[in-house]
Structures are given as C-alpha cells and as structure tokens.
Chains A and B, each alone.
Chain A
Amino acid sequence: MELICPLPLQYAQIVMAHGGGGRLMQQLLSQVVQPIFSNEYLNQQHDSAIFSVGEQKLAFTSDSYVIKPLFFNGGDIGKLAVCGTVNDLAMSGAKPLFLSCSLIIEEGLPIETLQSILQSMQKTASEAGVFIVTGDTKVVDKGKGDGLYINTAGVGVLADGVNVNPKRIEVGDAVLVSGDLARHGVAVMLQREGLDFDSEIASDCALLSPLVQDLIHAGIDIHCLRDLTRGGLASCLIELASHAKVQIEINETDLPIQEAVRSACEILGFDPLYIANEGCFALFLPPEQVEIALAVLQRHAAGAQACQIGRVKNAHEHGLLSLNTAMGVTRRLDLLSGEQLPRIC
C-alpha cells in the first residue's frame, strides 16, 4: 500500500520531547550520543560511571539543571543541583565526596539572587558532607537563558563489596520506593504556570545519600537503586526491566501518592507515574530484607513514606513493567513518547 500520508515525522531538529525522559530521549541517546562516545564505562548505562583508580573504585557523574522558576516550593535550583548529583552518586552505592559547580548566568540576573542560590548549594553540600571544589562561570546575553543554568559533576567512592547494578536485579526481588511520588514535577509546574491550587504541594527535593549509606551499613544486600527523576517511576522501572530482562509488577493500590498531587494531575491530564521526583528512589532487594530496609528508610524524613510497591515477577526477553490496577486488571506500562502535555478538557 502506498502511503499518501506525509507522516511519519522524522524530527530533523531537536524538539523539547527529546529531553522529556521518554522514548524520544532514549532514541536520541542510543542513536545519536552513545554510538559516538561508545566505551566500556559509558555502556554500563548507569546513573554514574564506575571505574577503578588503583585499588579504589570510584563513581563519577554529571548533571545539568535548567528549571523555571529558580525558586520553587520545597527548594531552588541550587539545592536541586547538589541533591541531584549527590543522589546520582548515591544510586551507584557510592559515598559522595566532591562536586564541581559550573554556572551559565544570563545577563541581568541580580547578584543577590545568585548569592542566595550559591548559599543554598553550600548549605545542601554541607548536609551531604561533600565539598564543592571546582567550577566555571560563563555569562550569556540577556534572553539566551532562564536566569541561571547550573552543571554539577560529582565524584564518590565505593566501599568494598558494594555492587549496586541493574544487572543484579533478580526474579523474586522486592521493589520498594523511598517516598511518595510525583511531588517535584507537580510543585514546579503549578508554580511555573501560576496555577492556584488550594493545597500547597512542595517538591520532594532531598538528599538520598544518607538513606543509601544507612541501608549499606544495616547490611542490606542492595541489588539495584534508581532515583525516580525525569520520566518518573514508570520510565525508570521500564528502563530497568529492559536492562535486567525481567518483568516487574507493581500494585496500583500500594503506590504512595499525596491526594493533592493526584488531584492536580487529574486536572492537568497527567499521569503521576511519569512525573519527576527529586528525593525518591526505587530499591531492589531480596524479599526477606524488606522489613529491615523499611525500618532504616523510615528513620529519615525523606524516607518516611517508604513502602513496597511490587516485585520482580519473572524473566522477560524484552523487559516489561506491569501494573495491577485497583479494579483487578493487569496492564502494561510503556514509555511515553515525549513530555506529557496538558490536555484540553
């Protein structure tokens, strides 16, 4: 059959969805970025690269922070830039040590604003026990940036015997989350768009390394960790299922989501399972250790809502994430194409 339809569209330019954490972003990485840089460390496709220098195993990661507004309920771009990179290191089981801080500043940004953000970075770094030890500053023309972009890179050390890796996910593993879902994305969106909701929704932006270090000290055999940032819980678990070639099964009624967050998502037509978190991770571990792990997590403010949401059900050639709904139906969760867009009605 000849297709008269001029579609499909092959994007020749970058569109916003290429950064949305969905299928288009995955394609960009796997088809454009990774083939060029391909090497054994990058190809681990972990939140951090892991390598050894002498006897010491190190974790190394980098992330850029672009967020509007710069200050949001529950945090600011500075706190986010430290938490995000520290958390990426923590997800490999590493103890974070040093960060860099590169600033891309838009002409016209008040110095006072910059100071306040840097102070927030330093405060968060102190809490995390890391030092910001190097960096860079660039200024771009007015109109070429949203006030301030920050890049932070981070280095951490891995203790002997710690091996946290998607490859270690096993059939039978329990799947836990460390907190309630979708708060960061919803909080920022409501504020950015000036949508007035009766209830205050605050970002969950928080340091996760103390939780992970405590889990390790408590002797939990962590198989895999993943912070549920861009793309939310569903995108992260789909990616892990595909790496580990397993079917992960989660239960709708076990998912911790604040009622206000749920309502806001409904009004906007968003699915909270695909919305970013900045202080929440998924944890894969042997089922017999669930109780201890929950007790450890719940000692922390950021882990107060920790709970088990599902398990690794069986091996699966392509990887699959399925959701048991409250209605008793099981359905597949798939990567979204790009960003979620607010609906019409």
Chain B
Amino acid sequence: MLNKNAFRDPVTSKKLLAAIANITTQHWTLMEVCGGQTHSIIKYGIDSLLPEKIRLIHGPGCPVCVTPLAYIDKALAIAAQPQVIFCSFGDMLRVPGSQLDLLSLKARGADIRIIYSPMDALKIAQNNPEREVVFFAVGFETTAPTTALVALQAKILNLKNFSLLACHVCVPPIMRALLESPHNQVQGFLAAGHVCAVMGYQEYLPIAAAYRVPIVVTGFEPVDILQGIYQCVQQLETGRTEVENAYSRVVREHGNPAAQQAMQQVFITVNRSWRGLGEIAQSGLSLAPEFADWNAELKFKIATIDSPEPAACRSGEVLQGLIKPPQCAEFGTTCTPEHPFGATMVSSEGACAAYYRYRKS
C-alpha cells in the first residue's frame, strides 16, 4: 500500500511551492473542479501559501451542492410516504429543500436511513419485501458506476420493491459550460482525479484543444494538488494547452472500462438542471427505459415536481467561481451550517462550508 503521508509531506510541499513560485511570471486563474480538492486546499491552507499571482477558484464538483432543488423535493415527497424506506448518503440529509430537509422529515417519523454503499439499499429491499425501498442516487461519474451495478443487480434479482431516484451528473459538460460563459475567468483546470479514475482523461482532449485551456488530472492530498498546480502553471507559462496526468498512481488514460460499461448499460444522457447553474445540455445521467421498473420518479409519479431556486442564495456564482464564499453578504452571518441558504454551505465538499469551517480567525 502507498504511504499516504508521503503526499502530505511538508518538505515536499514546500519544495513544490518554491518551484511554483519560481516559474510564475504572470497572473493565472486556475479552477479545481472537485469539491474534495477545494476542501483540501482550504483545510491545508494551500491557497494562502501560493504566490499571489496564482488565484484558485473553486469549481462545481460537489455532488450535494449541484443536485437541483427539484430533486431534493422529489426525495422528500417519496420519503414522506409511509410504505417507503428511503436510503441516502449521509451528507444529502441536511440539504434544504423548498420546505424542509430530509433530517427534519426523519425527525417527523419518516424511515430515512443513511447508507454507505448502494448495495446496502439493495439488501434492505431484500430484507423488507413488504416495504418500498428507494435509493437516492446522486453524484458524478465517481458514484454513478455503483448505482449502475445496483440497478443491474436489481434487474437480475427482479427485485420489485426497490427503485432509484437517480440524479447523476457528468463533469465534461459543466467544464464546457463554464468555459463558454461570458463571465469565464478560468485559464487552467485541475481535473477531478477520482472522476478520471473511472472515466480516464480522453474526453478532456477535445476540451483542452477547443478552448485552448490546460487540463491537469489532479489528486487530493496537498502534494498532489501542488503538483497539479505546478504542471498547470508550467503549461500556461510556456503557452501549452494539453491534458496531463498528475495523478498517475490512481488514474489511467482509459479509466475503468468495467465501470464505464455498467454505466452505459444502465444510463442515458439527458439535459439536467444544476443547482444555482441552470440547465446544462447532456450533462445528466438518467435511468435508461429498460430500467423503467426501477425508476422511482415513474413509480411514485413525481416526475413533474419542479421547484424554482431561491433568489437570495448566490451559490450559483460560487459554483462557477465568480465569487468566493466570503464575498456573499449572507456568508457566515445569516447563512451558516446551522441555517444554510444553499447546499454549498451544507455539504462537506461545499465551498461555503469549507470556508466557514476552516476560516482563519
């Protein structure tokens, strides 16, 4: 097993910081795509150690944050039904819907269970044949394969009391959308390492070429992140716009073909609304028609629930990197983890929560 501490080594980190400072001659704005990276950057204070000319802006890669309000409301509508056992990853429970969150619904008596793997939801369905078991399947390409495997397994078992509220999203379309925005400030991307572990990085080649932007596949430990920043700055300083892999201990060029195959069997690509960002074409994964029997939206007839986003929350701007959390007037005053306006303040990967939790004074 690799020694993880090697990737947190302060000495190596300081060498990389010096190397970055050494090659930086101009102002550059980089975006780390994944919320896990944002969390590491703020937790370890990497942003404050970089040369002033390097600005990091935080990307939309937090699955909890970008799940649209309508899906939280759909989850609440399903979970409120007495015959339902509603299974979710833990950090979705505190995300506010239009009226309440899943934690409050649980307190009112709904059977809502935190699970660690979608397979656990399948087991709960097998053990409770008289109940309807629903799994709230959210996340990027990192979690989509396990949802796909569960759907395939449910079909093989012909498990009729199990269904999926699936709201998966994909990274490349949102990167394109950010680059096409008239407000775009991103000059280089640190691509999300774990998404690439599943998908590989070939799909980023056309993005780097079309938008002339360097993309460096990057991990999550301080040394990984600094290495990603170093390679990205090096490309910018030398005028290159390539896709590079700075996380080769985990990521292969073609990713994980078995996981991709399962995803292809189970999902179709659809347009999807992102919380705070609006609809982005071909950015979502929904269950394919062959899996209609396991589609909770059809089973519970809630496909038409549509909830408008609240206006006060500026999480959309945060998720696009247009503002940093402290620039929002509500941040840390009226909007806190106890009273979140938006999901970016709730999720462990949300930029607002990371800034709030790791604020320096």
Contacts and interface: CB of A to CB of B under 8 A. Distances in A.
B107 A14 contact: yes
B325 interface: no
Nearest to B348: A343
B91 A15 contact: no
A327 B44 contact: yes
Interface of A is mostly: loop
Interface residues of B, number: 60
A192 to B, nearest CB: 11
Contact of B360 (A17, A332, A345): A332
Given A7-B340, A7-B341, A13-B108, A345 B142 contact: yes
B334 A8 contact: yes
Given A14-B107, A15-B104, A6 B90 contact: no
Query: Which residue, of A320, A325, A332, A343, has the highest number of chain B Cβ atoms within 10 A?
Result: A343
A269 B90 CA distance: 10
Given A13-B107, A344-B139, A5 B313 contact: yes
Interface stretch (B93-101, B211-219, B291-299): B93-101
Interface stretch (B20-28, B45-53, B153-161, B248-256): B45-53
Interface string B332-361: 001111111110000011000000111111
Contacts, number: 134
B91 A8 contact: no
B218 to A, nearest CB: 16
Contact of B94 (A5, A320, A341): A341
A306 B183 CA distance: 54
Contacts of B313: 5
Interface in B43-90: 43-46, 48-49, 63-64, 89-90
Contact of A329 (B49, B138, B348): B49
Interface string A142-169: 0000000000000000000000000000
Q: Give the size range of A's interface with the partner.
A: 35 or more
B143 A8 contact: no
A11 interface: yes
A32 interface: no
B162 interface: no
Given A5-B311, A11-B104, A343 B91 contact: yes
A325 B108 contact: no
B176 interface: no
Contact of B359 (A327, A332, A343): A332
A323 B342 CA distance: 28
A325 B45 contact: yes
Contact of A5 (B93, B310, B337, B361): B310
B204 to A, nearest CB: 19
Given A16-B106, A16-B107, A326-B8, A341 B45 contact: no
A326 B222 CA distance: 11
Interface string A302-345: 00000000000000000010000111111110101110011111
Nearest to A266: B4
A268 B338 CA distance: 22
Given A5-B311, A6-B96, A345-B143, 20 more contacts: A4-B312, A5-B313, A6-B98, A6-B99, A8-B334, A8-B340, A325-B43, A327-B46, A328-B10, A328-B14, A329-B44, A329-B45, A332-B360, A334-B359, A337-B336, A337-B337, A342-B114, A344-B63, A344-B92, A344-B139
4 tightest A-B CB contacts, nearest first: A329-B45, A341-B90, A8-B339, A5-B310
20 contacts: A3-B312, A5-B341, A7-B341, A8-B334, A8-B338, A8-B339, A9-B339, A11-B107, A23-B337, A27-B338, A327-B10, A327-B46, A332-B361, A337-B94, A337-B338, A341-B114, A342-B91, A344-B91, A344-B92, A345-B194
Interface of A: 1, 3-11, 13-17, 23-24, 27, 193, 195, 263, 266, 268-269, 320, 325-332, 334, 336-338, 341-345
Interface of B: 4, 8, 10, 13-14, 36, 43-46, 48-49, 63-64, 89-94, 96, 98-101, 103-104, 106-108, 114, 116, 138-140, 142-143, 194, 222, 310-313, 334-342, 348-349, 356-361
